[in-house]
Chain A
């Protein structure tokens, strides 16, 4: 019974409750904005009339979730260690560019070129994340500041690279920057009829195959965190840096490793676009912003790989419905409001439930030793104090 309650409190209940709160708050906000909440809600679930249109909507939804998932995963690795890697945005942009240039430059069979490109992308992301990590470890510079600044620097760096060394030589001088096209053998294969098993039509475009890589990475990260020494040390350092240090986990080493890993995964975020869709990196075509959405996705998914997957699916669902909202005269920015409200309610609901869970644990432990008072000082000063003054 208690075990069930604990799972309920730590698992899906918070997310479900948070979503409910978010829907109510969002409804009120829309009302204030003079938008019909019911109409908006219906529009969210509008997948189009024809079977083909529905399949296309499904494809856009799933495709949209992949970079959000990878980005959320990258951010969460930092969070787990108590690091705020705001720099996923910059890391995935530079990694996407270098990977696109690399894939276009090598002439190798796809089976070799694609894995190499993935490694190059991860390496680039990791290297770019190494800068804030080294600064933090050696000089104590806060990683929030350095990663934000490195995000700005990346824009200039990419502009330069697309003007010079990485620019497609066939482009005219006035054309906007783009890398050379990746040879077709190195395109990432997709799924032509991904929803056939649901009895749906094939979408106009294939579903990106990179989702397989994303799932594998998610599983590996989940296992690494929960089942390995490295994952344990990472979580310990995040949960209580001083205790981790006392027990022999070097804080500096963990910061370097966590940032490298976070940056490495960030490097993958742009690959679905580069390898599966655009087949080049273009200053105007490469989609930006996944690094920032990833922060929200990681928060929503409570830094848990499975949760991040669900959060990415939810965010992608909302992103996809922007155009449908416009069809019914609802401003598409409602999607952004919705995402913001969801993240806020998740943070609040999580905190409330976490306190309840801690209180529940306190009682359970106290009931082991009858007659012993539930001493709030025994372990959970914050929550218990709140309980005492409530």
Chain B
């Protein structure tokens, strides 16, 4: 039974507040490995409890245990002090534990109200009691300042709005403990601040929030307690007032946190990639790319900042020749490639790290070495001029990339789908950079990889830049953009609205441009 949402005034979080969720010695094994061992976690009412750790440290497994999706072999879960066993997410929801997933699970063509009640519709006389639902949603929205319009169609909402709908969905089901999985990954800085305000209103009402994040500055800003997880176990629970970001990072990785930093300029005068007046419109006539013009020189990293969905994906596709723009020219190293096929462009030395590695970069059910040659079938190291595959050479080169790029896998003939995201990404980076490209188009090159791998990838891109690689870098990680780029563009609604100097820009300023609040005409 869902518990009713009663706003119960609670004093400021202190260790005296009752523990709503307590994990004691949780161990979850998968055959051959221990994903979680001896996890101890105490989440108190009225606190934001941050859970930080590298990718692959065991956060997701822990959250799945807490949400009833996995069953631990050892240890206890206590809800309000009572030992409880979750047989599935339904049990967790019944016990007041709700999860806001990183990827929204909303029906776009439904209204906010319909999405919120979907699956737990209040009924009266066999029909959905819309009025009761509306009253409850209004109350939730009012209590926590979510500002929801129950009749808005989800399709029309911004990302931040959708996230609030997801939160309301969980609250509607009576959750007293909210698990938020990387909630800030999709938000711009201003929206992050808003989210934090909402979270604080919720904790003021006595709810508990488990906040999973990579971003240490955010964690330090918002959390009341921070638990660090490393290699499957909880290493420390610290008070944010008494640690620095650096100390936290060291707890996470056991070593120093790397920074993307490429200050000494390697930019040359040679234009490697030149894009002029690139425009693309949707069938509806809406502009997706609007007169995009820029140049990338040899040895230059041109960063593109923007909230996802403002034309970045289409820009990459247009550069690769996967979509045909309505107008505009793309010139690679003096050759006009505007009418060339993807294959012809790639053979001119364009390397690609696509934004969605599973969909666009990998054959998950194929071995590593076949993925190594994907996109490089005209490389004479791997294919004879007659098109005969040189298997042994491909396998040997894959083994080399595995060791040079620290791709951890049992062997070159393991299936790529069984690798962790970070290892998959390292394989892609290795495959693309080892073909000696002149242009790299990298979309979110370090998304979902751990801190160590991230540093290694940055290093590789920097080294290639020093050798004269021209890079188009698209990223949602503003620190990465500012740290790596020589030139920074902001893309908003398909238009380049600003050209900025990364040396003097702050994430806050970038955020202002990214939300369209300010414009500064870009001139290439």
Contact = CB atoms under 8 A, between A and B. Distances in A.
Interface of A: 226-233, 235-236, 239-240, 242-250, 358, 361-375, 377-380, 388-389
Contact of A378 (B363, B377, B378, B420): B420
Contacts of A235: 363, 366
A374 B417 CA distance: 12
B56 A373 contact: yes
A380 B60 contact: no
Given A240-B363, A242-B360, A367 B418 contact: no
A245 B342 contact: yes
Contacts of A378: 417-421, 424
A289 B55 CA distance: 55
A364 B33 contact: no
Interface string B25-39: 000101111111000
A247 B375 contact: yes
A373 B58 contact: yes
Given A365-B419, A379-B417, A228 B388 contact: yes
Contacts of B414: 361, 364-365
20 contacts: A228-B387, A229-B378, A232-B370, A242-B359, A242-B360, A246-B360, A247-B342, A248-B342, A248-B345, A250-B343, A358-B417, A365-B409, A365-B410, A365-B418, A366-B418, A366-B420, A373-B30, A373-B33, A373-B61, A377-B60
A248 B366 CA distance: 18
B122 interface: no
Given A228-B389, A367-B33, 14 more contacts: A228-B387, A233-B377, A236-B374, A240-B359, A243-B360, A246-B361, A247-B361, A358-B415, A361-B415, A371-B34, A373-B36, A375-B60, A378-B424, A379-B358
Query: What interface size band does chain B fall in?
Result: 35 or more
Contacts of B415: 358, 361, 379
Interface in B380-426: 383, 387-389, 391, 408-410, 414-421, 423-424
Contacts of B60: 373, 375, 377
Given A246-B354, A361-B418, A366 B30 contact: yes
A188 B388 CA distance: 32
Contacts of A361: 414-415, 417-418
Nearest to B64: A388
Interface centre among A226, A242, A246 (most CB of B within 10 A): A246
A56 B362 CA distance: 51
Contact of A374 (B30, B409, B424): B30
A243 B362 contact: yes
Contacts of B510: none
B107 interface: no
B88 A363 contact: no
B232 interface: yes
A372 B361 contact: no
B320 interface: yes
Nearest to A228: B387
Interface in B293-320: 320
Interface in B471-513: none
A366 to B, nearest CB: 5
B57 to A, nearest CB: 8
A365 B326 CA distance: 45
B418 A362 contact: yes
Contacts of B409: 365, 368
Contacts of B343: 248-250
